[in-house]
Structure 1
Amino acid sequence: MKTGGNPAAMLALMFNKSAQLAFEARLRRALGEGPIPDVRTLHSVGNRILAQLVSGGMLPREKLETSSKKADAFARRALKEAWARNGTTATPSQAQYLGFSQFITLVKSDLRPATEVFEESGFAPDCRAYITAFQLLLQDQQKRKVIFYDDLIYRPMVYLDAHPEMWSMFANRYDKIVVDEFQDINALSFFMVQGLAGTRASVMGCGDPKQSIYAFRGSRVTLMTRHFEQVFRPCTRYPMSRTFRFGHEVAMMANNLITLSEDKDLGLVVADNANPKTRVERMPLKAGKDSGVVELLAPYEHAGRLRDTAMLARNFSHLVPFEIELAEAGVPFHVYGREGLLFLPEIAALVCAVSLVAGRWIIEPEDRVHFIFSLLTTPSPFISYDILREVAEEMEPCLEGAARRELPGMLAKTANAIRSKNTRGAQSLDERADALRLLVGGTLAQAPAATIVRAYMAHTRMRDVIERAAPSPEQAAESLGNLDAFVKLAERAGSIDEFLEVLGPMAALKGDEPPVGDHVMLTTLHRSKGLEWPLVMMVGLTRGVFPGSLPDKDVDEERRLCFVGITRAMERLVLFHPEDATLDRSIAELEWHHPPNEPTSASPYIFDCDHGPVRLATQLIEAGATGTIVARQDRAMTAYMQALGAPITIQLTPEAQAHQVRQASVADCGQIPHGYQPRKGEEFYHPDHGACVVDEVLYPPVYMMRGLNNDERFSTVVDRASGWVIPLKLPATA
């Protein structure tokens, strides 16, 4: 604009309304009165294209339905019909409905067929009916002449993909197009931007590929890191590496972590010298002991600064032990993005079981239908939820006192009513009625709370059914993590009365509305993006938990997610992880190399951050001193010193230098394809282990390997992210 650009020929695209309004306000402040470029959300541009296609008669006129409940009803109807077409009398579980909603999001963020999206998205084979259900959903929408929010881009782009000549109505209207948060763009939105640009517009994508973490919504980081410069040529990169949020210690740890990504061209983040001197602390967790979070937060609570604090985790289930600890201590908190812990279906079912044994409730009367409904539906008995909702409402007046003994009979009556049409469902209700008899019969009245919880879980095979019925391994892990934390709480509490006393304060935390007063924010790493706090606590930093051990996990996205978490901190970053003597020694002794197969319990991401030399380098930088640091690795620290202009040298240990030579041999090898599962007898090479052969397939990606040069057998993860390659010719150093 300041160099004479025409605002009418400029378009700025934002991901949401708040970003659009904020950008417009910044333009006004920078340019004063007068015309400014067109600032829109991606969906509003899609809607404008859709409206022109409708007015031109190319697409039918349909009603935009903004109600999430209506969208959910359409999805449920389609999935239920698809399930029936598979020849089963069972109905989808709640988890499978949620999985289908995610599948809809993924398909409507892409131009590929639903089958192709399903194959690469890691859904369970049992959920293959999602493909049919998606087609039924589109047919239902067409029949009822309804579109939803994600159709604002999906519907017109599908049409333009099939009729590319119609882009002439929309292309070549702009000289400049700027797209914010480009690292989060999906294939559908990229297609729209490309079409709008035509042959006239210069396109600028602004974003940080190190923070691309929304693959579950369909975003693809490669659209920014690779595809952009293939489509928009010539392409110029403008690195924006300087941060003004945190200090050198966090910056160097973040760089060490992210440079292990498969894509090596993600760039550095460099802290400005005027930034806060952010300190990184570790809180090792000891079995059977409190985490120390209450003591950590005490000064903040005393100063009325709990709002300056946040606890972040990979999944909500990783927060559960800490929210229980905070609730017991009376520290105000709120879990953002999730309903209250006790109201989660798997937890509500167990709370209901304990309450029925006790004959008293800590849950308000108006909420009890939800709890008995959760007990009837978790784990899923594969019965219509409409039927079970009616049963729950009928049972609600009978949840206390002697009337509880009538509950098994009510459920048995429903089982008999559906037996002729749904034998399997009736049998499931018979088993659930028997579980109710156990709960209300009085035999468990004096049992410890943990015994009741475990007995109900065993009787209903809760863990097994959740694991099998979940649409993805990750969703199963989330629910099972909640159960594990709840069982541990019951074990700590002891008796039923003591357990209900502990649960009492959490019964009031049922919605997603945060309290008005000062409180700690608990949320997931995904939801923390774009935010910052003086104190950030990261939890769940356990090997096998973060990153997860699921075979279909995108390891690079997990690494970027950890990067996002540690870069939220302004003054203090506190990492909660299990006790790990190997980690302690690796931080204290900079020249010590721990054996590759030595067992560790902390997340490998903490090891990757290499806190030992980072801490020493931070001290030298802040003191303005010169020095040499001996380190086991130098992925990013020398580059950081050069970017900063700091006179500090990183010198590798002799063992690290030898490893570097072996690593160079990998250039003569081939990458293991994504998703490939090695077979027994196949040879692979690793810089630490040399040439090895698969001796036994344990559970992919875990294999028993045997060294070809020493016959040593060891188990390890074999995939490209772990450094294994296919030897095209065996390196001489092997």
Structure 2
Amino acid sequence: MELTPHQQTVARYQEGHALCIAVAGSGKTTTLAYLIKNLLHSGADTRRAMVMMFNKSAQLDFSEKLQSLIRASLPEATAVPEVRTYHSTGLRLLKSLEQWGLRPPYERQPMGEKETELLIKDLIFKLAPDGMKDRLKSDTAKYIESVIQFIDSVKSYLTTPEQFFKDNHYPDEFRFYQQVFHAFEQWRHQHRRITFTDMLYDTVCLIQQHPEYLPRISNKMDYIIVDEYQDTSTLQHQFTRMIAGERARVVAVGDPDQTIYEFAGANIDNILNHFEQDFGQQANVAQLTLPHTFRYGHSIAMAASHLIAKNKARKNVICLAHNNNQPSNIEITQSQNETDSLINALIKHLQQPEPESLAVLVRVWAQAVPIELSLLERGIAYHSDGPSLFERPEIDALIAALELSSSQLHFMNIDQRQKRLQRLLTLPHIGLKHHLTEQLINQLKTLEGDYGKVLSQYSEKITGISDYQRKKLAARGKVWSYLEKNGDSETASRLLNNYIIQTELRDSLQSMSLNDQRTEEQLLAIDGLMAYIRQTNSSPTECYQHITSLKQKSRERSRNRAGNQIITLSSSHRAKGLEWPVVFIPGLTGKYWPFVRDDELANSTGNNLEAERRLLYVAMTRARKTLHLFTCAGDINTPSANWAQDKKVTPSRFLAEMSLPAAISFSQHLHNNDDTALLQAIEKNGLSRQSRLYLKAVRPELAESISKAPSRKDILSQEKKHSYHKARSHPARQVVLSSLNTNATGDSHAPWQKNARIRHSIFGSGRVIEVNDSNFVIFFDDQQYGVKRFARTDQVRHLFEIA
């Protein structure tokens, strides 16, 4: 294999410490394998070279690639450096520390997921305030997950639970998390157990407590190569420093633009600042780059580069498509019913003679609810990397309401009925203490009907509760009676909507909130289910039967998971490290991208907003051939002034940041090697700063012309002045001057001429079928785009040309 000049520079590096920024699809692992081969060829001792991969899968893949390369190019080599993970290295050192007497030997096998969850559950109910315990009961799994994440985060950041609680602004009512942390650690040390995180955490803590043992583990290596450094935690960074000491030359490889696991402890400052600060104390840190991707063409590379360039917390590296790459295609679908558009696009893809694998990447799993329901309904096979939508507590609560309204509890055995009644009473929670709720369920589970009536009667007789709780109990009985009486007379959507309002389900979820984003996702999941049910226009009984059939199909799909499915439904987070020929990204609206708290929306430079850009950048760069973006109607080329206030109906601001018209237009000329057409397009449309940097990098022979080309801002300014003078010179067509940025001039070369044939830079050819004072309508030849309306503004003129 012939390496590129940038890859050769990395592969031949043998000096001091180095930080290598490698873009998505840059051939990073191959380059690292060549680096190690060259080190061995230069006489490096395999026993004093350490290669650190981020997880077991990456470790196995890289080990195989490295061994294959060494066998082929260095047949005399008898060994290769051991490829490890952080946790396996930490565990090995931890056992040594125990053998040296720093503590008694602990159980080597880490605690299993189930064992940890059961212990945390016991501690939560033991240590939580009495007023919290009913809420904990309503969604225990959620609180267990939250506490485990809290404990792991404290350890990943090498801080105290008290400091982490304060720094992350947890509500005061969750202060018991700190007690759970200490109780968990006390139990763990008493029973001599470790978790997965403790393989590193205990090792670092023991060395910090006994610094005299540091020389026995430090300065033993000549070379340390660490992959995916953008995903390292503070704990892992400090562990690397301890192992390296002053002897090892450390090469850290990663991409800060792909830092998306901060919720799991990843610290982007490690690759942005800490590596150079900490390792640069001994010598200068060399700056290496792998800027060329071999995964996709110029259109995706340019769009992704434009997007991520808006971030401030990054290295100044541009993702460049290698000139030998095949062209990639970006498609945009704007519609009012995104799920239907996406399903239709999937069907069209599957109808191809040999459809390639395709991934639908969601921002939050709530987006998958209507998509999965539609896929199941139509019998379209797919694989999902996420949780079953029917196991979501908020979805299950609404299904339980359907069961009550369609008299399904009558046909259940007592155990089944008890579980469904518990769901109906705990989400939203009835507000009673646990023992009273259990007492009530035990009375109701023997009945075969009239649950609402009995519940109302019970509210009058029960003692030891407040007037507020009594009213709440009576109100729930009234809602249940409504469900039971109207199951045959109202549609399922109307019935459930009233149920959601009367039980204050949404308010209940928000009041129990551990995490604003998680709660927002629960509310969006409810919206997704309700939107689907409205489309069925069915009765509660019909809807229940339909949902039951979909649940059965879902179970069958799970049993047949081993099948080779073309469609994968996954999240943008889980897609990291993977790639597909075709990628669909739905929900590119202010509702999902960026998915941040409302009080942070206006802060365009906030850390959360930058994290959202990084996540979308990762999702976009999973595609090899086609990237299909789905959004709502609206202007996708100009950021909305009110996107934060009108999230649900506004195209995501990220679409405008991608500079799609420029990315698509310039990429065509680049792949066609038509420099004349490229320069003409540059002169006509101007260049943004990012476009200028990109084009100079991929066409260095045109650098002088590209440097002299007008800016995009200047071109827009000239067009605006031209529009102004045209308006002044044609009084009959003069527009209000303050509105020139949204109204059009009347020149004959504008794209808004009735019946004119025009070509749009994204949607292709079409015919203008309607023109009025403020906008114009085009019927596109490609049926997937159909009819679209555009504002009569000179700011969109560059998107069109006369066909």
TM range (shorter): 0.7 to 0.9
Which structure 2 residues correspond to residues 674-685 of structure 1 after superposition, within 5 A?
A: none
Q: Using the TM superposition, give the Cα deviation of residue 489 of structure 1 relative to its aligned residue in structure 2, in angstroms.
A: 2.0
Alignment partner, residue 47 of structure 2 = 8
Q: Please state if 1:40 is matched with 2:84.
A: yes
Q: Please state if 1:643 is matched with 2:686.
A: no
SS at match of 1:575: strand
Q: Please state if 1:569 is matched with 2:623.
A: yes
Q: Using the TM superposition, give the Cα deviation of residue 521 of structure 1 relative to its aligned residue in structure 2, in angstroms.
A: 1.1
Match of 2:218 among 162, 165, 171: 171
Q: Using the TM superposition, give the Cα deviation of residue 424 of structure 1 relative to its aligned residue in structure 2, in angstroms.
A: 8.5
- Give distance in 2, aligned partners of 1:320 and 1:485: 6
Q: Using the TM superposition, give the Cα deviation of residue 519 of structure 1 relative to its aligned residue in structure 2, in angstroms.
A: 4.5
Q: Once the two structures are aligned, what percentage of the paired residues are identical?
A: 24
Q: Please state if 1:489 is matched with 2:543.
A: no
Q: Please state if 1:353 is matched with 2:401.
A: yes
- Give distance in 2, aligned partners of 1:393 and 1:506: 31
- Give distance in 2, aligned partners of 1:114 and 1:130: 8
Contact residue 452 and residue 478 of structure 2 kept, 8 A: no
| Deviations 1:64-93 (CA, angstroms, capped at 9, x unpaired) | 443211111122222223313x77664525
Contact residue 91 and residue 383 of structure 1 kept, 8 A: no
Contact residue 278 and residue 571 of structure 1 kept, 8 A: yes
Q: Using the TM superposition, give the Cα deviation of residue 574 of structure 1 relative to its aligned residue in structure 2, in angstroms.
A: 0.6
Contact residue 51 and residue 224 of structure 2 kept, 8 A: yes
Structure 2: give runs of 5+ residues left out of the alignment.
1-39, 72-76, 601-606, 719-803
- Give distance in 2, aligned partners of 1:368 and 1:512: 26
Q: Please state if 1:75 is matched with 2:114.
A: no
Q: Using the TM superposition, give the Cα deviation of residue 465 of structure 1 relative to its aligned residue in structure 2, in angstroms.
A: 1.1
| Deviations 1:462-506 (CA, angstroms, capped at 9, x unpaired) | 100101212111011010000111122222222224423542443
Given residue 188 of structure 1, which amino acid in structure 2 is its aligned partner? L
- Give distance in 2, aligned partners of 1:539 and 1:75: 36
Contact residue 416 and residue 426 of structure 1 kept, 8 A: no
Q: Please state if 1:516 is matched with 2:565.
A: no
Which range moved further: 238-247 or 518-527? Answer: 518-527
- Give distance in 1, aligned partners of 2:608 and 2:640: 26
- Give distance in 2, aligned partners of 1:257 and 1:536: 17
Q: Using the TM superposition, give the Cα deviation of residue 434 of structure 1 relative to its aligned residue in structure 2, in angstroms.
A: 5.0
| Deviations 1:146-205 (CA, angstroms, capped at 9, x unpaired) | 322221111222222333332222111111111111110000011111100111111111
SS at match of 1:281: strand
Match of 1:607 among 636, 656, 661: 656
Given residue 329 of structure 1, which amino acid in structure 2 is its aligned partner? R
| Deviations 1:102-121 (CA, angstroms, capped at 9, x unpaired) | 21221121211112222333
- Give distance in 2, aligned partners of 1:226 and 1:263: 10
Given residue 86 of structure 2, which amino acid in structure 1 is its aligned partner? L
Given residue 249 of structure 2, which amino acid in structure 1 is its aligned partner? S
Which structure 2 residues correspond to residues 633-672 of structure 1 after superposition, within 5 A?
A: 634-645=688-699, 647=702, 649=706, 651-653=710-712, 655=714
Q: Please state if 1:248 is matched with 2:248.
A: no
Which structure 2 residues correspond to residues 549-588 of structure 1 after superposition, within 5 A?
A: 549-550=596-597, 551=599, 554-580=608-634, 582-583=635-636, 586=637
Query: Using a 3 Å threshold, how does the CA distance of structure 1 residues 301 and 71 change in structure 2: closer, same or farther?
Result: same
Q: Please state if 1:209 is matched with 2:256.
A: yes
Task: Please report the TM-score for the alignment, with normalisation by the length of structure 2.
Answer: 0.73
Alignment partner, residue 512 of structure 2 = 469
Q: Using the TM superposition, give the Cα deviation of residue 255 of structure 1 relative to its aligned residue in structure 2, in angstroms.
A: 0.4
Contact residue 46 and residue 81 of structure 2 kept, 8 A: yes
Contact residue 331 and residue 627 of structure 2 kept, 8 A: yes
Contact residue 96 and residue 469 of structure 1 kept, 8 A: no
| Deviations 1:688-732 (CA, angstroms, capped at 9, x unpaired) | xxxxxxxxxxxxxxxxxxxxxxxxxxxxxxxxxxxxxxxxxxxxx
Q: Using the TM superposition, give the Cα deviation of residue 425 of structure 1 relative to its aligned residue in structure 2, in angstroms.
A: 8.0
- Give distance in 1, aligned partners of 2:444 and 2:45: 68
Query: Using a 3 Å threshold, how does the CA distance of structure 1 residues 45 and 595 change in structure 2: closer, same or farther?
Result: closer
SS at match of 2:79: coil
Alignment partner, residue 728 of structure 2 = none
Which range moved further: 449-458 or 249-258? Answer: 449-458
| Deviations 1:371-402 (CA, angstroms, capped at 9, x unpaired) | 55433332244678799789879977x6xxx8
Query: Using a 3 Å threshold, how does the CA distance of structure 1 residues 524 and 385 change in structure 2: closer, same or farther?
Result: farther
| Deviations 1:38-73 (CA, angstroms, capped at 9, x unpaired) | 211111111112212222232243334432111111
Contact residue 94 and residue 203 of structure 2 kept, 8 A: yes
- Give distance in 2, aligned partners of 1:28 and 1:615: 41
Which structure 2 residues correspond to residues 444-463 of structure 1 after superposition, within 5 A?
A: 444-463=487-506
Q: Using the TM superposition, give the Cα deviation of residue 327 of structure 1 relative to its aligned residue in structure 2, in angstroms.
A: 2.5
SS at match of 1:311: strand
Which range moved further: 353-362 or 73-82? Answer: 353-362
Query: Using a 3 Å threshold, how does the CA distance of structure 1 residues 210 and 342 change in structure 2: closer, same or farther?
Result: same
Which structure 2 residues correspond to residues 325-404 of structure 1 after superposition, within 5 A?
A: 325-339=374-388, 341-360=389-408, 371-381=420-430, 403-404=448-449
Q: Using the TM superposition, give the Cα deviation of residue 631 of structure 1 relative to its aligned residue in structure 2, in angstroms.
A: 4.7
Query: Using a 3 Å threshold, how does the CA distance of structure 1 residues 372 and 22 change in structure 2: closer, same or farther?
Result: farther
Which range moved further: 355-364 or 120-129? Answer: 355-364
Contact residue 362 and residue 368 of structure 2 kept, 8 A: yes
Query: Using a 3 Å threshold, how does the CA distance of structure 1 residues 28 and 438 change in structure 2: closer, same or farther?
Result: same
Given residue 168 of structure 1, which amino acid in structure 2 is its aligned partner? P
Q: Using the TM superposition, give the Cα deviation of residue 346 of structure 1 relative to its aligned residue in structure 2, in angstroms.
A: 0.5
Alignment partner, residue 700 of structure 1 = none
- Give distance in 1, aligned partners of 2:530 and 2:235: 44
SS at match of 2:300: helix
Alignment partner, residue 114 of structure 1 = 161
- Give distance in 1, aligned partners of 2:507 and 2:393: 16
- Give distance in 1, aligned partners of 2:180 and 2:711: 57
Contact residue 346 and residue 374 of structure 1 kept, 8 A: no
Query: Using a 3 Å threshold, how does the CA distance of structure 1 residues 558 and 445 change in structure 2: closer, same or farther?
Result: same
Given residue 299 of structure 2, which amino acid in structure 1 is its aligned partner? E
- Give distance in 2, aligned partners of 1:363 and 1:658: 71
- Give distance in 1, aligned partners of 2:113 and 2:477: 34
Given residue 117 of structure 1, which amino acid in structure 2 is its aligned partner? F
Q: Count the aligned residue pairs.
A: 642
Query: Using a 3 Å threshold, how does the CA distance of structure 1 residues 413 and 170 change in structure 2: closer, same or farther?
Result: farther
Structure number with greater Rg is: 2
Contact residue 52 and residue 86 of structure 2 kept, 8 A: yes
Q: Using the TM superposition, give the Cα deviation of residue 13 of structure 1 relative to its aligned residue in structure 2, in angstroms.
A: 1.2
Query: Using a 3 Å threshold, how does the CA distance of structure 1 residues 180 and 549 change in structure 2: closer, same or farther?
Result: closer
Which range moved further: 41-50 or 60-69? Answer: 60-69
Given residue 640 of structure 1, which amino acid in structure 2 is its aligned partner? Y
Contact residue 124 and residue 180 of structure 2 kept, 8 A: yes
SS at match of 2:583: strand
- Give distance in 1, aligned partners of 2:237 and 2:510: 36
Contact residue 10 and residue 176 of structure 1 kept, 8 A: yes
Given residue 333 of structure 1, which amino acid in structure 2 is its aligned partner? Y
- Give distance in 2, aligned partners of 1:182 and 1:363: 56
Structure 1: give runs of 5+ residues left out of the alignment.
587-592, 660-734
Alignment partner, residue 527 of structure 1 = 574
- Give distance in 1, aligned partners of 2:151 and 2:456: 35
- Give distance in 2, aligned partners of 1:74 and 1:261: 41
- Give distance in 2, aligned partners of 1:434 and 1:555: 44
Match of 2:318 among 268, 273, 298: 268
- Give distance in 1, aligned partners of 2:356 and 2:559: 15
Alignment partner, residue 696 of structure 1 = none
Contact residue 337 and residue 512 of structure 1 kept, 8 A: no
Query: Using a 3 Å threshold, how does the CA distance of structure 1 residues 98 and 314 change in structure 2: closer, same or farther?
Result: same
Give me the CA root mean square deviation.
3.4
- Give distance in 1, aligned partners of 2:127 and 2:135: 10
- Give distance in 2, aligned partners of 1:603 and 1:325: 24
- Give distance in 1, aligned partners of 2:133 and 2:147: 19
